[in-house]
């Protein structure tokens, strides 16, 4: 059960940062929208874990664990790299050295650079539909993580339930600490990638011994 809780907390870390960014921008996340975000994230992660478990029935256990370690580490590295890119883009934008035009169909790209872009109507309130778009864009990493972690014997149902609950806690914490976190001149999403790498290595070491 401990692994399920740890994975849920790691996946919910980004949700906390998103809530902090929204709080700092004066955008409210109603309970219904929070439920959409958490339900989508939990469902995607749980389904990915289930599919990974099914695939594990046809792939040797040793190969599954090796693949899981490699993919989880790769996701962690990519998360760190994405955070560095966001920091660079934001600094260039502030200096006037970069102009990004994505048009009406570039919401996913905008969300990669600015979490608050989901509030497309600038109402300062995240609607359930906007929350769904944000959740789907944010669930890509969760899906990849779930497909990798399923090889570690992690329960899809328990992980989904823990992720759903942790998501509400993450939104609450992010909203309370939002101004302090988002006012800092740093992007903290890289920390989620580091935690994922540590989790992957720890799982590999524990399995080996």
**What is the structure's pLDDT at 175?**
82
Q: What's the mean pLDDT when you consider all of the chain?
A: 75
Phi-psi region of 96 (alpha: psi -120 to 50; beta: other; left: phi over 0): left
pLDDT tens column, 78-100:
878 877 777 776 666 666 544 44
**What is the structure's pLDDT at 180?**
63
Most confident of 47-51, 80-84, 164-168: 164-168
Most confident of 22-26, 44-48, 130-134: 44-48
| Total-model pTM | 0.73
Other C-beta atoms lying within 10 Å of the C-beta of residue 143: 17
Most confident of 17-21, 29-33, 64-68, 204-208: 29-33
Which has more pLDDT, 34 or 120?
A: 34
Handedness of CA 27, 33, 37, 42 (dihedral sign): positive
Which has more pLDDT, 122 or 22?
A: 22
Structure tokens at 64: 């599954």
Phi, psi of 167 (to 5 degrees): -65, -40
> Using CA atoms, how far apart are residues 2 and 22, in angstroms rounded to an integer?
30
> Using CA atoms, how far apart are residues 134 and 40, in angstroms rounded to an integer?
10
Distances (CA, A) of 30 to 22, 25, 111, 130: 12, 15, 19, 12
Site of tokens 């790299």: 81
Given a contact cutoff of 8 angstroms between Cβ atoms, the answer to whether 174 and 108 are in contact is no
Helices of type H across the chain: 2-24, 31-56, 61-94, 107-113, 128-149, 156-176, 178-183, 190-208
**What is the structure's pLDDT at 43?**
92
**What is the structure's pLDDT at 98?**
47
> Using CA atoms, how far apart are residues 201 and 102, in angstroms rounded to an integer?
38
**Cα angle 174-131-32, degrees, rounded to a multiple of 5:** 80
Check pLDDT > 80 for residue 28.
Answer: yes
Most confident of 44-58, 148-162, 186-200: 44-58
Site of tokens 């849920």: 8
Which has more pLDDT, 65 or 33?
A: 33
pLDDT tens column, 116-154:
555 666 777 888 888 888 888 777 777 877 777 766 678
């Amino acid at each position: 059960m401990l692994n399920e809780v740890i994975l849920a907390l790691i996946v919910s870390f980004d949700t906390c940062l998103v809530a902090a960014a929204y709080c700092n921008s004066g955008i409210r996340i109603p309970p219904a929208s929070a439920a959409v975000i958490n339900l989508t994230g939990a469902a995607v992660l749980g389904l990915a874990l289930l599919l990974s478990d099914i695939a594990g029935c046809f792939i040797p256990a040793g190969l599954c664990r090796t693949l899981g370690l490699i993919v989880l580490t790769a996701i962690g590295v990519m998360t760190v790299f994405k955070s560095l890119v966001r920091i660079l883009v934001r600094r260039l934008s502030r200096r006037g050295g970069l102009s990004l035009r994505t048009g009406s169909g570039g919401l996913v790209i905008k969300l990669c650079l600015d979490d608050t872009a989901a509030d497309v109507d600038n109402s300062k309130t995240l609607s359930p539909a906007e929350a769904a778009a944000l959740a789907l864009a944010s669930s890509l990493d969760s899906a990849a993580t779930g497909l990798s972690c399923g090889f570690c014997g992690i329960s899809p149902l328990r992980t989904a339930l823990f992720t759903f609950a942790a998501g509400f806690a993450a939104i609450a914490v992010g909203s309370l600490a939002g101004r302090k976190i988002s006012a800092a001149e740093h992007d903290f999403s890289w920390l989620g990638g580091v935690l994922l790498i540590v989790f992957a290595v720890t799982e590999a070491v524990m399995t080996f011994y």
